[in-house]
Amino acid sequence: MPKNNFQRFGHIRGITVTEANESQRQFWNDKPGANWVRFYRDLDIMHHSVLEKLLDCAAPEAGETVIDIGCGAGTSSFALAELVGSSGSVSGYDISEPLLTKAEERRAEKGVSNVSFHLADAQTAGFDGSADLIVSRFGVMFFDDPEAAFANLHSALRPGGRIVFITWAASEFNPWFSLARKIAVQHFGDLPDGDPDAPGPMSLRDIDRGVSFLKAGGFADPVGEAVDLTLDHPDGWPALRQLVPHIGPVGRFLRDCEVTQEQRAALFDDLDKAFSEFATDTGISVPARINVFSALA
Ligand SMILES: C[S@@+](CC[C@H](N)C(=O)[O-])C[C@H]1O[C@@H](n2cnc3c(N)ncnc32)[C@H](O)[C@@H]1O
């Protein structure tokens, strides 16, 4: 019996059939995955505007079969499930066991029967070619072979099916990343940047690059559009501040530099000042830019 209730792919009789995305699999099954579980409620509040945009653009209809790539703790899958109704279904795919365990726990609590979760790599999972729609909120930027991954996603759709997904635009348009990093650099000096196109949150910041992967994957009419919105939280900066050491660019500085309590306090003083710029009467509203991509199978 599997330990968890979700379905597992990528293994046949105990033999791993793919080594794709090994470092991302480790990443999302280690502390970062656990942190996304720990803070999923605040992340969902912060990324709510992104989900609204995704649902608006994807426009799922009653009865449709939907695949949610990198579904994490399942929030987008549950929202989609309501829209497709009991005659439709949603399959959430993710490589993170801790996040899928949370998603499945939430599914059972909610008593939702038209959602299933699958522990599988979207780049290599076997699909049956019958889905009407693929969506993703921030789940398709982590492929080590994006062309192969998008070709595999293409194979999941019925002819005429559609894909709609959202990625981050460049960090200069996203102070949640760039302002936090700038302040960390002021305190600790710069850390070497890796390959900006390597798997990671900003790997599909460039619209032409994303469109080229969709084309290479066999999709028709691929387009991408930058959209400005805000990341909001009614509990204000304190709610986002607690994420800073664990999620986003600052954690790396805290891990890699030998940071004393005093240095950490000084860093957070400056972060408090900088992000107070985004305080509103109803909490906090951080400007952000995302890319919305869509294409047809
Ligand atoms: C930034 S999180 C977004 C999670 C969720 N979509 C949300 O908006 O809360 C990225 C998610 O993609 C998943 N992921 C990364 N690479 C993947 C792959 N190759 N196949 C399936 N899921 C993947 C991660 O495990 C993680 O849950």
Distance 40 CA to ligand 1 centre (A): 13
21 CB under 6 A from ligand 1?
A: yes
Percent of the residues in the chain that have a pLDDT greater than 90, as a whole number:
88
Q: Which two tokens stand for residue 255?
A: 């891990």
CA of 137 to the centre of ligand 1 (A): 8
In the chain, where do the E strands start and end?
7-8, 11-12, 15-16, 65-69, 89-94, 115-119, 131-137, 157-168, 220-233, 279-280, 283-296
Average pLDDT of the residues in 227-231: 98
Domains (range + CATH), the chain = 7-169+196-230+291-296 (3.40.50.150)
- Whole-angstrom distance, CA of residue 283 vs CA of residue 270: 19
For residue 85, how far is its CA from the centre of ligand 1 (angstroms)? 24
Judged against a pLDDT cut of 60, whether residue 2 lies above it is answered with: no
Reference 173, options 291, 270, 56; nearest CA is: 291
* Most informative mutation of 54, 55, 94 for ligand 1 (most atoms within 8 A of CB): 94
Nearest-atom index, ligand 1, CA of 47: 8
Q: And the tokens for 37?
A: 């579980």
DSSP string, 51-103: HHHHHHHH---TT-EEEEET-TTSHHHHHHHHHH-TTSEEEEEES-HHHHHHH
- What spacing in Å lies between the alpha carbon of 200 and ligand 1's midpoint? 10
Ligand 1 centroid, distance to 26 Cα (angstroms): 12
The minimum-distance atom of ligand 1 relative to the CA of 68 is: 6
94 lines ligand 1 (CB under 6 A): yes
pLDDT digits 0-9 by tens, 14-30: 444 447 999 999 999 99
Q: Is the CB of 123 under 6 A from ligand 1?
A: yes
Least confident of 146-155, 233-242, 255-264: 255-264
pLDDT tens-digit profile of 126-153?
999 999 999 999 999 999 999 999 999 9
**pLDDT at residue 11 tops 80:** no
Distance of CA 260 from the midpoint of ligand 1 (Å): 33
Q: What angle do CA 142, 2, 95 make, to 5 degrees?
A: 0
Q: Is the CB of 122 under 6 A from ligand 1?
A: yes
Q: How far is CA 220 from CA 2, 24, 166, 212, 224, in A?
A: 39, 28, 18, 11, 13
Alpha carbon nearest to ligand 1 atom 25, residue: 96
- Residue 71 alpha carbon, nearest atom of ligand 1: 6
Answer whether 124 contacts ligand 1 (Cβ < 6 A): no
pLDDT at 48: 98
Cα 88 to Cα 62, 135, 240, 287: the distances in Å are: 6, 15, 35, 35
Q: Please give the structure tokens belonging to residue 2.
A: 């599997």
Enumerate long-range contacts of 15-23, CB under 8 Å, 24 or more apart: 17/124, 18/121, 18/123, 18/124, 20/121, 20/123, 20/124, 20/143, 20/144, 20/145, 20/148, 21/95, 21/121, 21/123, 21/142, 21/143, 21/144, 21/199, 23/144, 23/199
DSSP structure class, residue 205? -
Residue nearest to atom 23 of ligand 1 (CA): 70
